[in-house]
Amino acid sequence: MKCQGVEDGCVDRRTAMAGLVATAGWTWAGPAAAETGVTDTRIKVGQSAVFTGPAKDFGVDYKAGISLYFDKVNKTGGVLGRTLELVSHDDAYDPKKTAENTTKLIDEGKVFALIGYVATGNLIAAMPIAEKAGVPMFAPLVGTTSFRTTHNRYLFHVRASYETELRKIVGHLATLGINNIAVIYQNSAFGKSNLDTCLQIAQGLKVKVVESVPMEIVATDAKTQVATLTKAQPGAVVMIMAGKMVEVFLRDYRAGGGASPLYTISVGITDAPGSAQRLNGGIEGLVTASIVPSPQASRLSVVVDYRKDRTDAGEKIDSYTMLEGYIAARVFVEGIKRAGKALTREGFIKAMEDMGTTKIGDFPLQYGPNNHNGSNFVDLEMYTRSGGLKR
């Protein structure tokens, strides 16, 4: 007689096995559920960044660097047999759109982690959503101090903080005997927050900030700001801005007869050769903080690898921001490897925190349970007339 079920006084093998397990005092939960965004063959990663508008170079170049390394890993078999899939959405530098994209990536895209977000206000909009969902946020192109001083177990940085950059700049000026400076800053959460940081650093180093003026990111004219700064006669001008507005200020500052040395944090210039061409060499003499080595520094293995991978891929983009994305991707992949084959979000977080002091292709990093800050590397370099950099 064919067994129809318990109503007929018989049981199938699975039911019988469950009874034996229960009798033995065991529990059987069936196969382990896979982590969101992870299959046997793929790891899905999400990104919301600026790919259109006046700040698009940051998002475009950062994504290019991340994709360059992900593609290399995929061509060599992936990470422990899993390929990396990067899903990127444009937020046009709009925090509201960033929040919408983040929700979409988590709820509909079912991503394992988020990577490569750009700008302070955008990260402010996205982070609560990621944290609530328990999704790791990795390597945003953001150095704002508040994200470093308040620990968040889901947020991992790779780049040095803007506080470290500004301390390097203002400390350098103080060493040169320049004790009065002016600041021009982007009129946004990013600009205002880092202006406060700069003011605190200057006060601690006994450097006087004689003037601070805001500028809109979409500005096409900086004559008013230039007039105010020129009148203040500072020993140097520190720029806390990003994107095309930097070119606008440089153009009008040079044309207006501004003579004080100019310093910018790392996100000031992305397309240096293009900026140099558009400004007819007016980028010359601008000093920038760099949070990764020069993309031409062949003495470092991470740069040698980057240049080879660019050549192999036929990639035309070549910038500090692209190299930063490439390094960020390498650190992310290292964390995935250390988390092991049974990859989970919690396992990834633990693997990153257990990394301690290490180097990725000669690039120094440090992580721990209470330290998700990554790198403290900052150097100062000066732009040449053609957009190159020299120490």
Tell me the per-residue pLDDT of 274-295, one tens digit each, with 9 for 90 and over.
899 999 999 999 999 999 998 9
Q: Would you say residue 365 has pLDDT above 90?
A: yes
Band (pLDDT 50/70/90 cuts) for residue 8 is very low
pLDDT of residue 54: 85
**Residue with the two structure tokens 């003495």:** 299
As a whole-number percent, the residues of the chain with pLDDT over 70 amount to 92
Supply the pLDDT for residue 296: 84
Tokens read off for 234? 């500072």
In the chain, DSSP assigns E strands to 42-49, 83-90, 113-115, 137-138, 155-156, 180-186, 208-215, 236-240, 262-264, 287-290, 356-360, 363-368, 371-374, 379-383, 389-390
pLDDT at site 298: 80
Q: What percent of the chain has pLDDT over 90?
A: 84
**pLDDT above 70 for 61:** yes
Q: How confident is the model at residue 26, as a pLDDT?
A: 39
Pair 281, 386: CB distance under 8 Å: yes
pLDDT-wise least confident of 18-27, 85-94, 110-119, 197-206? 18-27
Please compute the mean of the pLDDT values over residues 161-179 and round it to a whole number.
97
pLDDT at 33: 54
44 confidence band (pLDDT: 50, 70, 90): very high
Q: Which residue carries 């700040």 as its tokens? A: 55
pLDDT at site 146: 87
Give pLDDT, residue 389: 87
Say what the pLDDT of residue 270 is.
81
Which range has the worst mean pLDDT, 11-15, 189-193, 206-210, 309-313? 11-15
Share the mean pLDDT of the chain. 91
Q: Give the global pTM.
A: 0.87
Q: Is the pLDDT of residue 102 over 90?
A: yes
In this prediction, residue 59 has a pLDDT band, given cuts at 50, 70 and 90, of very high
Residue 273 has pLDDT above 50, yes or no: yes
Residue 263 in this model has a pLDDT that exceeds 50:
yes
- Provide the pLDDT confidence category of residue 264 given band limits of 50, 70 and 90: very high
Task: Please tell me the distance from the alpha carbon of residue 92 to that of residue 50, in angstroms, as a whole number.
Answer: 5
pLDDT of residue 43: 98
Three-class secondary structure of residue 359 per DSSP? strand
| Cα distance from N-terminal residue to C-terminal residue, the chain | 88
pLDDT at 268: 93
pLDDT digits (tens, 9 = 90+) for 375-385: 999 999 999 99
Q: Is the pLDDT of residue 35 over 80?
A: yes
Tell me: pLDDT of 11 over 80: no
Using one digit for the tens of pLDDT, what is the confidence trace for 218-243? 999 999 999 999 999 999 999 999 98
pLDDT at 18: 41
Question: Does the pLDDT at position 320 exceed 50?
Answer: yes
Residues shown for the chain? 391
Give the residue from 151, 142, 225 showing the smallest Cα distance to 190. 142
